[in-house]
Amino acid sequence: MNMQPTLLVLAAGMGSRYGGLKQMDGVGPNGEIIMDYSINDAIRAGFGKVVFVIRHSFEQEFKAKINADHFGNRIAVEYVFQELDYLPEGFTVPEGREKPWGTNHAILMAKDVIHEPFAIINADDFYGRDAFQVMGDHLRTLDGTKGQYCMVGYRLENTLSDNGTVSRGVCEVDANGLLIGMTERTSIGRTENGIEYKDTDGSLHPLAADSTVSMNLFGFTPDYFVESEKLFLTFLREHGNEMKSEYYIPYAVNTFINSGYATMRVLKTTAQWFGVTYKEDRPIVVQRLKQLHDEGVY
């Protein structure tokens, strides 16, 4: 029997910029939400289980809509929770902190329910069928290995919003297709000079349109939980008292690559990413999904 990878969906961040339960917004022609497409594509790519990271505050609303029945019982469904105070022993939330601990903290919440190679995605991003196929095929080759991670890389120009700037993990990739490092760039947008990002001091710098960027579609083996948990202790000792520090996936990935523990293969995809970063992006997403239905992809 072929090993079936698991899909881990990061759905605890309720989309503060967008307002409301963004993950529940019906954007498809028949009221489908973006997650419906991701899970449909994952099922086709041979994933056997989906695990949702959510928060207790919207648990009932979420489970009522997103459950095994909703996906025609074609995939096993589990839920785990990310809360601010879910910290390792000996650590507490600093007084006044409201911001969650970030994407890699969210991954750690699933350590007790995932025991096979797994992919992670954001709940509200559309990744495209090919991306799941490429990821699923690669994850099946990793069963029983450690420290051989992967990610799907997108072309920067295929991931921008016309309605505001975006943040992206810009990747440096070697000749063998392995990640050298990932740098989080914020405030990326189109300007009269092409594509530029704004530095912390407000100055603009160019980025190549064909830069490889991460859209948080990563593939890991279960040892990632063990290593990440160790690193989280270091992170909390160094940044745990800050109000806005976040334990991001790129931080962990860079650390594991630089220490020589892990490699990360950058998988290529023909898929086009899209998502609703701003309210104004919604009509574009609706139109693109309708087009995919018209073309018979869904």
- Give the global pTM: 0.91
Tokens of 74: 């074609």
Which amino acid belongs to residue 216?
N
Q: Rounded to whole angstroms, how far apart are CA atoms 298 and 289?
A: 9
**What's the pLDDT at 20?**
52
**What's the pLDDT at 122?**
92
| Ranges of residues in the chain whose predicted pLDDT is under 50 | 15-19, 23
**What's the pLDDT at 64?**
84
| CA atoms within 13 A of residue 186's CA, in its CB half-sphere | 4
Which amino acid belongs to residue 161?
S
Say if CB 122 and CB 101 are below 8 A apart.
Answer: no
**What's the pLDDT at 107?**
97
62-92 pLDDT, tens per residue?
A: 888 889 999 999 999 999 999 889 999 989 9
Say if CB 187 and CB 197 are below 8 A apart.
Answer: yes
**What's the pLDDT at 21?**
58
Domains of the chain are: 6-154+214-252+281-294 (3.90.550.10)
